[in-house]
Chain A
C-alpha cells in the first residue's frame, strides 16, 4: 500500500462479496472497522504507514459472513459498493456498510500479502 503524495493511490485489491444476515432487527456483516480521517492514525496496529487514515478491519467474528467471504483481519477497505473508503470519516464508513436496504456489500480490500503475491507471480519465469 504505497502512497506517493500527489499521485493517485494504487493498490492491488481483492473483491469480496459479503451477504448480510439478519440478526433480530439488524443486518450484520460480522466484522469491526477502525480508522477514518477524524481518527488518530498512529494508533492503528495494522497499517504500514502510520499516517494512513483509511478504514481497516480490526476484528472478524468467527463463522460470520465476513470470514466466510474471505475478509481477513488487518485488511484495508478501499471501496464499498462503489463508494470510496479511503477518505471518509469513521461514521460515514459505518453508514455506508450498514445501509438497511442493501443485502449484499461488495468490498474492494487490499492487504500486503496481495502485493507480494502479484510480485512473485510476475517475477516467475514464464
Chain B
C-alpha cells in the first residue's frame, strides 16, 4: 500500500509543472491540514506518507484535465485522518470559483452593455434634434442664418469634448468586480436618462407635433442640451473622483494571522470602494503571508490542550448540554492554571537557538554570494572585439554562478521557512536580472533576507487572490466612525477598523523677527 501511494505521489509531482517549489507545496498542504484540526493535532503530526495528502485532496476533486494526466493511477486508498478536511476545503473552493466566475462575468457585461446603449443614446440625441426637422418638414423650415451656422460649430466641438471626456472618465479597464452596484454611477445613469427623456418629451410635443419653423430656435435647443450634458459630466467627475480625495477617515488594517498592521487615510467612500482601495494597498504594503511561520504557536496551543482530558463521571444524561460544556471548560482552565508549565522556558531557548542558527546561515550565505559574484565580470567593449569566445548572456552567466551559492541559499531559506515562496527558476531569473543591472551581491540578497510585499512573489505564492467582504452595515453605505468590516481570504482575513480624523483647529501666532533677544545667565561669585 505504502509503495503504491508513494509511487503515485512522485508521478503526481512530475505531472504538475506549475512552477511552485516541490518541497514548498508539501509544506503548505501539511500546514493547512494542521490548521484545520487543532484538537486532533497529535494525530496529524504522526500522519504517514505526506505525499498522500495532495493526492486525494486535489486530484479527485479537480476535474481540470490540464493538471493531472495520471489521474487513473492515483486512486489508491490512503490511510490518514486529515484528508477529509483538505478535500472538503477544496470542494468549497472549487464550487465557489465556478459560481462566482459565471455570475460576475454576466453582471459585468450587462453593466457595460447598458452603459454603451446609454452613451449612444446621449450622443445621438442632439444630432437627431438637428436632423429631424430637415427630414420631416424641409420645405417649411426657415433657412439657417450665419448665427445659426455658428451654433453648428459649437455643437460639433462640444460634442467632441463630451466624447473625449466620457472616454477619459468611464472607458477605463475595470479594476475590480465589486459585490454590489456602484451607487453613484447608477444614480448618474438614471439622471442622464431622465434628463434626455425629458428633452425628447419636450421636443416631441412642442417641436415635432407643431412642426415649428424656427430652425435657429431648434439649434439653440440642441446646444442647450449639449451644455447641460457637459455639466452633468462635471457632476460625475465631482461625485466619482473628487469627493473621496480629501482624507476623512483613518482606517487601521490588521491581518488576523500575524497581526501586521497598516494605517491608511481614506475619503468619504462606500464600504466596498474602501475595501477595494485597501486590497490594492495590501498587495504592496503587507509582507507576504507565510503560513509556515505560524505553526510554532499552533503546536504550543496544541500541547496545552493535549495534556488535559475531561471525563464526565456523573453520567451522560445528568447535565444540560451547555452546562456540561461550561463546567468542562472551567475545569480545564483551572487545571491549566494549576499546572506548572515550563513552556515559556522552552519558547525562550528555542527562539534564541533559532536566531543563532539564522544568523550563522545568513553569514555563510552572504559569503557564498559575494564569492560567486566575483567569478563574473562585465565584458568591456574592446574585449568584445578581441575575443568572442566563451561569452555569456545574463541568463547563462546566472546559471554558471548559481550552483556555488545554491546550497547556502537553500539552507537559509529553509531555516527562515521561506523556501516555498521561491522557486529555482525564479531565483535564477532574479540573479540574471541583478547581473544585467550591475547590482551588488547585497542587492541580490535583499529580496531573500526579509519577506517582501506580496507583489514581489509569483502569483501562485500569493495565497490571497479571492476576497470576500464581510460587513454588518450594507456595503454600499458610506464609511462611518467606528465601522468594522472584514476582508476574508481563504487562509487569513484582514480586520479593518475606521476612525474619523479629528477636526483640526489651527490658530496662528505672529512672532516679530526682532523679538529674538538673548541675555547671558550669570552667576558669579566674588571673594571679598
Contacts and interface: CB of A to CB of B under 8 A. Distances in A.
Interface of A: 28-29, 31-34, 38-40, 43-44, 58-59, 90, 94, 97-98
A40 B528 contact: no
B528 A90 contact: no
Interface of B: 521-528
Nearest to A35: B523
A70 B222 CA distance: 111
Contact of B526 (A43, A44, A94): A94
Contacts of A28: 527-528
Given A32-B527, A34-B524, 19 more contacts: A28-B527, A28-B528, A29-B528, A32-B526, A33-B526, A34-B523, A34-B526, A39-B522, A39-B524, A40-B521, A40-B523, A43-B523, A44-B523, A58-B525, A59-B527, A90-B522, A90-B524, A97-B528, A98-B528
A44 B523 CA distance: 8
Nearest to B527: A32
Nearest to B525: A34
B522 to A, nearest CB: 5
A90 B525 CA distance: 9
Contacts of A44: 523
20 contacts: A29-B528, A32-B525, A32-B527, A33-B526, A33-B528, A34-B523, A34-B524, A38-B522, A39-B522, A39-B523, A39-B524, A40-B521, A40-B522, A43-B521, A43-B523, A44-B523, A90-B524, A94-B526, A94-B528, A97-B528
Q: Give the dominant DSSP class at A's interface.
A: mixed
Contacts of A33: 525-526, 528
A34 B528 CA distance: 11
A31 B524 contact: no
Contacts of B524: 34, 39, 90
Contacts of A39: 522-524
A21 to B, nearest CB: 12
Nearest to A32: B527
A34 B527 CA distance: 9
A48 B524 CA distance: 19
A123 B524 CA distance: 40
A59 B522 contact: no
B528 A32 contact: yes
Contacts of A32: 525-528
A61 B275 CA distance: 80
A90 B521 contact: no
Contacts of B521: 40, 43
A94 B527 CA distance: 8
Contacts of B522: 38-40, 90
Contacts of A34: 523-526
Contacts of B523: 34, 39-40, 43-44
B525 to A, nearest CB: 5
